[in-house]
Amino acid sequence: MDLLPTEEQQQIIDTAANFLTHEFPVKNLIKLTDNKTQFTRAHLQHLASMGWIGIGLPEDYYGVGCGLAEEALLFVELGRNLMPPSVLASVLAAHVAAQSGTTEYLRRILEGEVKIALASARPALPLHIGASIDGEFLLYEAEDADLVLVADQGGAALLLLSSLECMQTEKCIDSTLHLSRRFATATPALCFVPVEKENIFLRGALLISAMLLGIAEATLERSVNYAREREQFGKPIGSFQAIKHYCAEMAIRCESVRAMLYHASITLQAQSSAGPFDTFSLKALAIDAAQSNANTAVQIHGGMGYTQEMDIHLFVKRAQVLGTLFGSERFHLKKLLAERAPD
Amino acid sequence: MNLDFTPQQMQFREQVRDWLETNKPAQARPADGAEGRAFDLAWQKTLYAGGWAGINWPREYGGQGFDTFQQLIFLMEYAQSRAPGDHYRFNGLNLAGPTIIACGDEEQKATHLPPILKGEVIWCQGFSEPSAGSDLASLKTRAVIDGDDMIVTGSKIWTSWARFADWQQLLVRTDPDAAKHAGISWVINRMDNPGMEIRPIRDMAGGSDLHEVFYDKVRIPLKNIVGGINNGWRVSMAQLSFERGTAFMPSQIETQKTIEELIELARNTTLEDGRLAIEDDHIAYELAKLRAETRSLLAMTLLGISRNERTGIPGPEGSMLKLFQSELYKRITALALEIVGSDRARLSSLTGRWPQAFLGSFANTLGGGTSEVMRNIIGERYLGLPK
């Protein structure tokens, strides 16, 4: 038993952290206020060149041959650097293409040649995801996408963006993301993977949780640094218990979600009966950690935290967006309570 | 990242499980203090005879010298089997014993270690004082050197099971002029020493295991000082070197059992509006949240053990786990009151254990360092925030 990352896994973390802070620094996002896609096809190909889209896919499917744990570690770093949820759409799309034998798309997805938008169903219309798709969807990063990934508890599908109706661009709470709304009416899927074959929805929930952990950790780190430097009443504000205790609570939320993420990565990968139980727990805790930490970070940064001159607000907004993807807190808690407790 | 145990470890698990199944006491631990003491000592004797005494003590001192994973497996099986908790045995096995192993001289080791393992003595602690709680290092109980003895005058508080103990690990001020942490000594004291007066304190949950202890010119031989005079603060930290992160396994398993029992209760309890408690949105939401947090408590415990195993140094996870678990347990028992509804008033009812647990839960966020002290430790030692 060893819950910590192995040396190889630690290397993935370090490489990703290093690459992302140099190639995609968060400060570049501060200027973006227009809801345009910041993450271009060239950016996607740059990421894909690292082998990251297929990191969790077996080599038989042109992947790197690692597992869910490695994917999860990568997504913590992607979340920390506010990479868009469409990266997750690409990774999951590769799983869908591989499982459904859609090899002509698989290679192009892995190389970042095909761009995938992430769909999140609105409850306004009845949802059906199968060989054909019905429903109303919010699409993240559809601006220059080719395909759309949709997933629910029954399965996951890829469809052509052009096959969806009535595009309406929306103003997104997170101004660094492109958001639109579209409808599907008996729209044929390019490929569909039922949950019995692979649970793409739970994989998505776990990886979104990893991104949420990245946000929780990034906002803790920024808060601690600020609390050490910012002085009032002649001392660093971090010496006041009011601030110190906020930071301690933020640190515990990070520790709790990181431990849960490691545990769930192992049990879900092993298809153990504890996998869903752990993932439902994880997603609920990760949403709370990211949102509570980001919100607390604004308070710790004081008036400056409320401005767009600092990057804290970006984390607040992204935590809200990610919280809605692959099941809300309420959804996961309901599922969790209905599960049998693992041995 | 893996959760696997080796075949040897699995075999060890079977061995522990079988032994506990055959040997654990059939009857529950008596509530009465004197009977509780006899029960605890008898159980410790059984453990000793079976070769399970002092699982984390080195073999040269009669312990089992188990590695971290054997300790983990033993504690998991132990908690699962519902064998009796440490109760009065806690201090000797986990605090005083390990401190004497780490800092004691040969005579102290030979005199005091075997009786702890063999179930012959109970130890207690004299650290806190009425005016030295969270600020423990400001303790004032004075020890004046007189020949080969010290003469101790002052008082201690929160000493658990003092009137049922034989020995006490006592912190006294041997140098009143030194800096606060520098003038303290850690000394072994007999509980039947003349000049001592022990007053039980009734707690809000109805127990009387806490005490105030008064010292009026109590004579203690200087040879009972462990780890050198005026070195007591460092000595009191020594028991930490035994900590492998496994200490939280029992309370983790206890918490898990408690939340599962509460969910079961909610499935079988009718609220005043006629619905089952589990069907109430608020109760269901809170239950699920507590269940998720309890699950992460397991993961955090395993992560802490893994880190300890890699570095060999106890990290910040001790304070985090203590804070997380005690606050979580408090919320579980508070939610239980909402589920039992008006029956929370009936301590004598079938569900009386829940209001009883609620009352007892306040101790968790106070004893062994308050939640506020834990948050200070996390902020300062782990996050590097200024004092």
| The CATH number of domain B123-230, selected from 2.40.110.10, 3.40.630.10, 3.30.750.24, 1.10.3720.10 | 2.40.110.10
Pairwise CA distance, residues B30 & B285, whole Å: 37
Cβ-count burial of B1 within 10 angstroms (0-12 exposed, 13-18 middle, 19+ buried)? buried
- Contact list, A263 vs chain B (CB under 8 Å): 3, 295-296, 298-299, 302
- Tens of pLDDT along A188-198? 999 999 999 99
Half-sphere exposure in the Cβ direction for A250 (13 Å, CA) = 31
- Contact list, A244 vs chain B (CB under 8 Å): 375-376, 379-380, 385
B222: its two tokens: 């200087």
Q: Give, in degrees to the nearest 5, the angle at Cα B175 between B171 and B178.
A: 110
B84 CA to centre of own chain: 14
Which residue has 């990245």 as its token pair? A214
Give the architecture-level CATH label for domain A7-194. Answer: Orthogonal Bundle (1.10)
* B117 to A254, B17, B45, B77: CA distances (angstroms): 39, 21, 8, 20
Q: Is B126 helix (H, G, I), strand (E, B) or coil?
A: strand
B contact test, residue of A219, A235, A256, A333 with most B CBs within 10 A = A256
Min Cα distance B373 → chain A (Å) is 10
Min Cα distance A337 → chain B (Å) is 5
* A4 → closest Cβ in B306, B379, B382: B306
CB contact under 8 Å between B292 and A259, yes or no, is no
Topology adopted by domain A200-338: Butyryl-CoA Dehydrogenase, subunit A; domain 3 (1.20.140)
> What is the pLDDT at residue B300?
96
Active site residue B293: no
**Domain ranges for chain A:** 7-194, 200-338
Q: Is B3 on the interface with A (CB under 8 A)?
A: yes
- Tens of pLDDT along B259-268? 999 999 999 9
pTM of the model: 0.96
Interface of B with A in 168-197 (CB under 8 A): none
- Positions of CATH 1.20.140.10 in chain B: 243-382
- At the fourth CATH level, the homologous superfamily of domain B243-382 is Butyryl-CoA Dehydrogenase, subunit A, domain 3 (1.20.140.10)
**Residues in chain A, overall count:** 343
What angle in degrees, to the nearest 10, is found between the helix axes of A312-324 and A200-229?
A: 160
Pairwise CA distance, residues B385 & B329, whole Å: 28
CB contact under 8 Å between B378 and A278, yes or no, is no
- Contact list, B72 vs chain A (CB under 8 Å): 1
CB contact under 8 Å between A259 and B324, yes or no, is no
- Positions of CATH 2.40.110.10 in chain B: 123-230
Topology adopted by domain B7-85: Butyryl-Coa Dehydrogenase, subunit A; domain 1 (1.10.540)
Min Cα distance A129 → chain B (Å) is 28
- Tens of pLDDT along A151-175? 999 999 999 999 998 779 999 999 9
- Contact list, B68 vs chain A (CB under 8 Å): none
Interface of B with A in 195-254 (CB under 8 A): none
Assess contact for B373 and B134: CB atoms under 8 A.
yes
**Identified catalytic residue from B77, B129, B212, B243:** B243
Q: Residue B247: which pLDDT band, with cuts at 50, 70 and 90?
A: confident
**Closest residue in A to B280 (Cα–Cα):** A334
CB contact under 8 Å between A258 and B379, yes or no, is no
> What is the pLDDT at residue B241?
63
Q: H-type helices in A27-182, by residue range?
A: 41-48, 68-80, 86-99, 103-110
DSSP A163-229: GSEEEEEE--SSTTS-EEEEEEEEEEPSEEEETTT--HHHHHHHHHHHHHHHHHHHHHHHHHHHHHH
* pLDDT above 90: residue B22: yes
A contact test, residue of B1, B317, B376 with most A CBs within 10 A = B1
CB contact under 8 Å between A259 and B299, yes or no, is yes
* pLDDT above 80: residue B244: no
> What is the pLDDT at residue B242?
67
* B295 → closest Cβ in A239, A243, A260: A260
Q: Residue B250: which pLDDT band, with cuts at 50, 70 and 90?
A: confident
* Phi, psi of A122, rounded to the nearest 5 degrees: -95, 145
A142 CA to centre of own chain: 16
Helix (H), strand (E) at residue A119 = strand A116-122
**CA dihedral for A186, A190, A196, A199, sign (positive or negative):** negative
Q: Residue A30: which pLDDT band, with cuts at 50, 70 and 90?
A: confident
**Closest residue in A to B321 (Cα–Cα):** A252
Segment B323-330 mean pLDDT: 97
Assess contact for A177 and A140: CB atoms under 8 A.
yes
Assess contact for B131 and B140: CB atoms under 8 A.
yes
